[in-house]
Structure 1
Amino acid sequence: MEAFYIVVLVSTVLVLIAAFSSLLAFRFGAPLLLLFLLIGLIAGTDGLGIEFSNNYLAYILGSIALAVILFDSGYGTSLQSFKIAAIPSLTLASAGVLMTASLCGLAASFLLGFTWLEGLLLGSIVASTDAAAVFFLLRIGGINIRDKVRSTLEVESGTNDPMAIFLTIALVETIGSGEGYGGINLAMLAMFVQQMGLGVILGLLGGMMIVLVAGRLETDRGLTPIFVLALALLVFSFTGAVGGSGFLAVYVAGIYAGNKKMPASATIKRFQDGMTWLAQIVMFLVLGLLATPSQFPAIAIPAVLLALFLIFVARPIAVWLCLLPFDYIQRETGFVAWVGLRGAVSILLAIMPILGNLDHAQTYFNVAFIVVLVSLLVQGWTIKPVAKKLGLITPPRIGAVQKVEIDLPGAAHHELLSYRVVKDSPVLRGERIPRWAMPSLVVRDGKSMRYQYAGRLRENDLVYLFIAPSYSRLLDRLFASRAPVDPEDTDFFGSFTISPLRPAADLDAAYGPGLLNEQERTLTIAELMKQRLGGKADYADRVRLGSLILIVRDLDETDHIRSVGMSLEAVEPAMNFPIFINMHEIVDRLRDFVRKRGKQPAKQISNDSNTGENEA
């Protein structure tokens, strides 16, 4: 019993230290997950001397923690965000992981003297981006970028783990069997289809089950989030037990459940946030404790070189080839390539060769650990500066909003929101609250009064409103403070504005010809932009028409384009050599090259004629 209390004491102290360290990370901009990992290393066998070498227990704890993180990641992903980035993200999550693993496998076989299969196994271990790292840095790190780019990164990080896990398990079994290349057969392809298919199907069914149970459950409100998380882990474990991908299933279940309005949704979200933080802390601490830093120097140089190859060569090439058919500008593709953080998933997969008793098993683990450290140091610390350097940080649409969602009993057909009236907000300047918002109560100086008798709202008033679930973002503008405008953001939306209702043919007449095809000339500018953007325009979206760039300045309440900015200068390329350009840009460059080559002989004839006249 004394040993039990000591274990609990040490574990609690480590979790508390990790939690308190987050305050420093937020203040100094350090990668928080790297900090958790380092705390585990310092407390481990080569630091404070805590002995932990149970790989099987570490894998179980890490897998459960990852399932919790993936469910919360899916729960916070809107269906619209998934739709606009689904195809490119899933391409990155499948073909991108395979390409990254293959390129890293070649580099590993050269740097570490592995066979091709052993190198491919190591490449598969480090091939996937880490959902915890990506979601943390994008959602909590204050990086405000285009919704399409953000959604691409989030959906990719949430869906690429199953591919990496499948490759790792298949290669561990192949190498462990001793059959070499003969172990790679059609049965593996069938297993892959089975895992992904069951993961999607059971994930959807599991999401439906979660919504059904949470909607009809009549119990204490504090138990509802526990039921939801327990059901999510049930989906994860059942799918894995029947041969599917439990990680994919729990992510899909999270997306489905998060986009269905459920009772106690605010309570569920707060509980999920807390559990995700705990899962991240536990996972990174346990994996840090498992490492033995004294073994790192023997393979440090090749491991660091492999990490740099992954960051600067393998990931960029894979991302570029996968996003080539899609309409991402060079800067956006470059940013997606840079945000390829490796994290706990790679370390977790590196345990598999140890559990499979492979040769060089500890080398796989140590190399993967160093790759993760380098990735979090180099990429995790520079994501926001890189986004700013590439001009991808979009100006804030509205300022800060102080809002609280209050859970209501029964069916979730309406919401009760509480807004604090802040300085410079439109509602403080006299703009009226719409009738559909049903304002009911105002709390002023500690006294409550009916909205009808409160008179003009004052700063720091609390206003309570009943609204339909999908209308809260429309009220955010009324209660938000004035958005701060950085001097660097003044040119973000172009030199001047044009009406979105003007015919698109006017652009072709003024800046063409050749910018638009026959069908596009019949559209308005707003319709043209929505068509080029895949059917839905978002704030700060850009459409390139040759050297002309159209930018979405503002949207109305129904998400129709209300204002369009125009720039006559093309966005400067992120770099001079033609990497990361998409297929449209390649076609445009080839067309410009052919056009210039076609004009060159005429120019030469004109020069020769002028020379002859001068001589005469």
Structure 2
Amino acid sequence: MDEHIVILVIALIVLFYGYISKGLSRLNISGPMVFTGLGLLLSPLGLGITQVEVDAEFVTIVAELALVLVLFSDAALLDLSLLRRSWHIPARLLFIGLPITVVLGTFVAGYFFPELPHTSLLLLALLLTPTDAALGKAVVSDPKVPKHIRSSINVESGLNDGIIFPILLTVVALIMSGLSEAQDHQWISYVGQQIVFGALVGGLVGFIGAKLLNKANAAKLAESSYQNLIPIALAILGFYLAETLSGNGFIAAFFAGLYAGNTSEAAREHIEDFAESEGELLVLVSFFIFGLAFAPMTLAYVTVDVLLYALLSLTVLRMLPVMVSLLGAKLDLSTMAFIAWFGPRGIASILYVLIVVHEMGSMEGLETVYAVVAVTVLMSIVAHGLSAQPLANWYSQRQKSASSE
């Protein structure tokens, strides 16, 4: 592997995409679609120009940093006052829909892959439960979509990966130790500790950081050109401080952004600028690496069962739990279906599977799991990328028609 060649290729692809990105968006061709496709083209599956080992340290670092910054910036752009008024939808998605998704995903995986142990089946369900709002960017950024619906999808995407992560690590530890099930209830306290400490540390970092920015601006101490660097620093600080203090870094990044963006208007503006440039770049680079390094590694293990489960993961296994969780929420069927469909699999699934590969040391025994994740993410990149803007337009028109009746 020549990392210099990879960096050069990434630079050329960024230039290429930058020149034609607006034209592609008119065709509903998203950035993740382009970068993943070019990664596949340059990989051993295509032209074979370069190759990257999936467990290379820099691959994990890029994906991890991308997820941290995406969580931070997405949360910062949420309206906390609106969230307080419409918290019931994301709460239903996270505390009813998410557990049902994991249980249903594990059960159905057992039918398709009976040769896998129960821990591997659970691992597969956990890897495919987190959602990625970035793959349906039009849905969470289009003002025609009601704000509380956009906010709900964004909050679910921001928090579900952080909730899943500590459970995922516990299951990986069980697999590596050769145990088929936890021997005590320590994992429950571990998960709770990760969530609570992550939220507290992240919230404090975001709140204090934003307050300091307000004071610096009031005293005219901060150069405006440097203030775009503050979001990066706060996101990374929240992540690593939480990890050091036994919290979950991804939950910390989300809460740091949530409090920073809702404490300082200046911070929110700079975070928005950052998210549209540097943050977007890291996300796209992660998808390129996914296409270049991870997807080719799994090709030999793709079967009909793998394809069927991946398709179910994006449809029934996602949509049914969400629809069940939203019963009684006083939402019409089109709204429930809209929220249920937009559960793309992207950065979180990519990062988590890279972490599993890194922790396990090899693919042995989990080849089918990795293949399912790769196929599901590839399907999601295309399906949700192509459908985001058309369905956002359809849904907004339907809501207008309903309100005028």
Normalising by the residue count of structure 1, what TM-score does the alignment of the two structures yield? 0.60
Which of 367, 377, 382 is the equivalent residue of 2:382? 377
CA distance in 2 between counterparts of 1:35 and 1:86 reads: 35
Trace 1:565-584 onto structure 2 (pairs within 5 A).
567=405
Shift of 1:30: 2.0
C-alpha displacement at 1:143, in angstroms?
Answer: 6.6
Question: Is the CA contact 2:131–2:160 (under 8 Å) kept in the aligned structure 1?
Answer: yes
In structure 2, the partner of 1:122 is 124
Q: CA deviation at 1:70?
A: 0.9
2:397 pairs with one of 380, 393, 398:
393
Deviates more, 1:109-118 or 1:170-179: 109-118
Aligned to 2:44: 45
Q: Offset of 1:152 from its aligned partner?
A: 1.3
Say if 2:368 is the partner of 1:363.
yes
Q: For residues 212 and 374 of structure 2, what CA distance do their matches in structure 1 show?
A: 41
The answer for the alignment partner of 1:290 in structure 2 is: 293
Residue aligning to 2:306: 303
Separation (CA, whole Å) in 1 of partners of 2:129 and 2:348 = 10
1:268 is displaced (CA, Å) by 4.6
Superposition pairs for residues 131-530 of structure 1, below 5 Å? Answer: 131-134=133-136, 136-140=137-141, 142=142, 144-181=144-181, 183=182, 185-217=184-216, 218-263=221-266, 266-293=269-296, 295-296=298-299, 298-357=301-360, 359-387=364-392, 391-393=395-397, 491-494=401-404
Mark the runs of 5 or more structure 1 residues left unpaired by the alignment. Answer: 396-488, 495-566, 568-616
Distance 1:300 1:24, change over 3 A: farther
Other-structure match for 1:424: none
Pick 1 or 2: higher relative contact order, CA cutoff 8 A, min separation 6. 2
* 1:287–1:348 contact (8 Å) kept in structure 2: no
User: Structure 1 stretch 12-21 or stretch 197-206: which is displaced more?
Assistant: 12-21
- The offset of 1:4, in angstroms, is 7.1
Contact 2:170/2:187 (8 A) holds in 1: yes
Cα offsets for 1:451-489 (capped at 9, x unmatched): xxxxxxxxxxxxxxxxxxxxxxxxxxxxxxxxxxxxxx5
Q: State the 1:316 CA deviation.
A: 1.8
Separation in 1, partners of 2:4, 2:196: 45
Of all paired residues, the percent bearing the same amino acid is 25
In structure 2, distance between residues paired with 1:21 and 1:167: 41
- Aligned partners of 1:143, 1:303: CA distance in 2, in Å? 37
Counterpart amino acid of residue 203 in structure 2: L
* 8 A contact 2:76–2:268 mirrored in 1: no
Q: Please give the alpha-carbon distance, in whole angstroms, between the structure 1 residues aligned to 2:359 and 2:95.
A: 25
Q: Which has the higher helix share?
A: 2
Q: Is the 8 A contact 2:105 2:125 kept in 1?
A: yes
Q: Give the partner amino acid of 2:128.
A: V
Contact 1:207 1:252 in 2 (8 A): yes
Q: 1:385 to 1:224 in 2, by over 3 A?
A: closer
Change in 2 beyond 3 A, CA 1:18/1:350? farther
Please state how far the C-alpha of 1:337 moved relative to its aligned partner.
0.9
Residues 385 and 38 of structure 1, relative CA distance in 2, 3 Å threshold: same
User: What is residue 528 of structure 1 aligned with on the other side?
Assistant: none
Q: Where does structure 2 lack aligned partners over 5 or more consecutive residues?
A: none
Larger % of strand: which? 1
Alpha carbons of structure 1 residues 118 and 268: separation in structure 2 relative to 1, 3 Å: closer
Where does residue 62 of structure 1 map in the other structure? 63
- Secondary structure of the residue that 1:379 maps to in structure 2? helix
Shift of 1:265: 5.4
Aligned length: 395
Contact preservation (8 Å) 1:239, 1:245 = yes
The 3 A distance-change label for structure 1 pair 164 and 360 is: same
1:120 is aligned with what amino acid? L
